[in-house]
Structures are given as C-alpha cells and as structure tokens.
Amino acid sequence: MTRTGNRDPGGMSRRVALTTVGGLVGTTLAGCLGSPSRSVGVLAAGSLARTFEDYVGPALEEETGIQVHGEYYGANAVMRMVEDRTKHPDVIVSADATLLRDRLYDEFTDWDVEFATNSVGIGYNEETAFGQGLDDGDSWHELALETEKGDISIGDPNLDPLGYRAVQAFELAENEYDRDGFRDTMMDLVYEEPEEPQMMAGVETGSRAASIVYHNMAVDHNMPFFEFPDEYNFSNVELADQYATVEFTTDEDGYTAEGRPVVYNATVNEEADNPDAGHALIQFLIDESNLLVDAGLTVGDSFPRPEGDVPEEITV
C-alpha cells in the first residue's frame, strides 16, 4: 500500500499559540453572540470527511475547545450550495483550489490558503479477481477492461473533482498507452457514485472490485492502494502542463475543469456566523500539518500557500 507525505515539525510550540487563539475565539464569540459558542461549520470536499471527523476535528476541540460541525459533498456540489446559499458554512474547503477561486471569489471570499495535496489511484479489494491481478503485477488498464459493468466505481464527475479527475485519468492513460477508445470504454463500465464518502463501502464488502480514489481515502479505510503513475495521478506539479491537455465540462452548470494537480484549499465565508472560529480552524490546518499526513494527505515543503488578501488573523 502506497504511503506519501512529509511531516511538518515544530507543532508543539504552535499548539500553545493555538490554545491561546481558541481561548480568544471563545471570548470573542461570547461577546458577539451573547453565548459561549465554540463551534465552526465546515462545508468540505467529501474526500476529507474522515480527515476532519477523525483527525482535525477531535484535535482542534482538544486544543481550543472549538467543535467542528462538518458536511461533506463533492466539491462541485459544495460550491453550488454556497452559491445558492442552501448551505451557510463558516469554512469552505475544496479538493480543487482553482474551482473554489473560479466559483467563490468576489462574492463569498477574496482569499484562500492551500494546505495539502493528494494523488489519484485505485483503492481495491484484494479478494476480487481485479485486486488479485493488481497484487500479481498485471497492468491495471488491461485488468479494468476485463471487469463487469459496475465492478469499478468513480465519483460523479458532475458533482465532484475526484469524479472528473477519474475521467481525465482515463483519457491521459489512453494517450499514455496508445489505447484508442479506452476512456469511453471505461465510462461505459464504471458506476458513478453520487456520494463521495460512500465510494469505499462497496469495495470493502466486495460488491465492487475497486474505486478510483484519492490516496487518503484508501488510508481511511485501511485498504490497498494502487497509485497511478505521475503522468496521470495529478500529484506532480511539474506535470501540470500535461494534466492540462485534458478537460471535463459538467452537465448541470457547464463548468469546464482542465486537468490540474490536486490541491486542497480553504477559506472563510464572508457570510460566516463564526468567522473567528473559521480563522482558528484554518490556522490549525496550517500549524498541525502532521495530522494531515497521518490522514494520508501529502504536505510538502511548498505548503501552506496563501492566495489573495489573507486576513491578518492567519499567519502563513
């Protein structure tokens, strides 16, 4: 099973600072709202559900007393919910940094912080024929063409960057291996899962052989992970130009996403109820990157990366 990521040392001294920030947040919110509200509403990409619920949320509450109340959907759906105000989060987290900027800048925010990356590959069940073939070293693309319809799932590409990255990976693999029609054949074979956090359930039970997922999702479920080569796993920033040779346009809102490296970013909604708690959470993501690595994300030396008019409450 592949493991990637670099730990960020120095977390202990910053934990003291975050505890202080948490205390100030609680005081500020109590003064503004008339009650000791110590919670932050998060609307995040579905691939981060376990990251926030099992790692970031408990650690933030322990250090600052702030509780994370998270909801998790495909990042396209997240942006749509913010835009039409069906959801009113304090913090918005995307699995595609460009998507957040394209959709939310000007009206809902004018800044964000990139805090981690990821890679795309196959989370699989070792007891299926497909999984056994991968373990034996057979070519994944040859094995995939031999699967039954629905044996492999992907995220819904109209709702979820992971979904459209799967489609783009199929197209890049088609070019890489000179397999004419591979993308279209795979799209006829795969099942499109509309609920990203549910993608692994069928693989775990064996009702599906595999899913095209991010590395951290396989880590979340203690599942073997076959990482695609750099040429189409969207993890290598030096291959951004190659990734950009493919694109996907969503059906509902007509958003066209070029292939690009996986970059997670977060911002505080300008309409947030608890902006101070939102700032504290993003500072925590910056300072406690070891938690993100433990959750299966990759935090290299280039992170965190600020964009736009980052508020003074956040130190990058």
pLDDT tens digits, one per residue of 126-160: 999 999 999 999 999 999 999 999 999 999 999 88
Dig out the tokens for 135 from the structure: 């373990």
pLDDT of residue 162: 93
Helix 275-287 / helix 11-33 crossing angle, nearest 10 deg: 170
Residues paired with 121 in a beta bridge: 213, 227
Cis peptide before 89 (omega within 30 of 0): no
Per the model's pLDDT, the better-predicted residue between 195 and 91 turns out to be: 91
CB of 267 closer than 8 Å to CB of 5: no
Distance CA 197, CA 178 (A): 33
Cα 237 to the center of its chain, rounded Å: 16
Helix 11-33 / helix 57-64 crossing angle, nearest 10 deg: 80
Number of helices (H) and strands (E) in the chain: give both, helices first.
Answer: 15, 13
pTM of the model: 0.81
Dig out the tokens for 274 from the structure: 């608890």
Dig out the tokens for 208 from the structure: 């599906």
Window from 28-37, 70-79, 92-101, 165-174 with minimum mean pLDDT: 28-37
Cα 213 to the center of its chain, rounded Å: 10
Q: By three-state DSSP, how is residue 23 classified?
A: helix
Domains, the chain, with CATH or none? 11-118+264-308 (3.40.190.10), 120-258 (3.40.190.10)
CB of 131 closer than 8 Å to CB of 210: yes
CA-wise closest residue to 252 among 171, 186, 168, 194: 194
pLDDT tens digits, one per residue of 33-88: 333 358 999 999 999 999 999 999 999 999 999 999 999 998 989 999 999 999 99
CB of 41 closer than 8 Å to CB of 268: no
Longest Cα separation, the chain = 64
pLDDT tens digits, one per residue of 16-47: 334 333 433 333 333 333 333 589 999 999 99
Dig out the tokens for 74 from the structure: 């495909």
Burial of 153 per CB tally in 10 Å (0-12, 13-18, 19+): buried
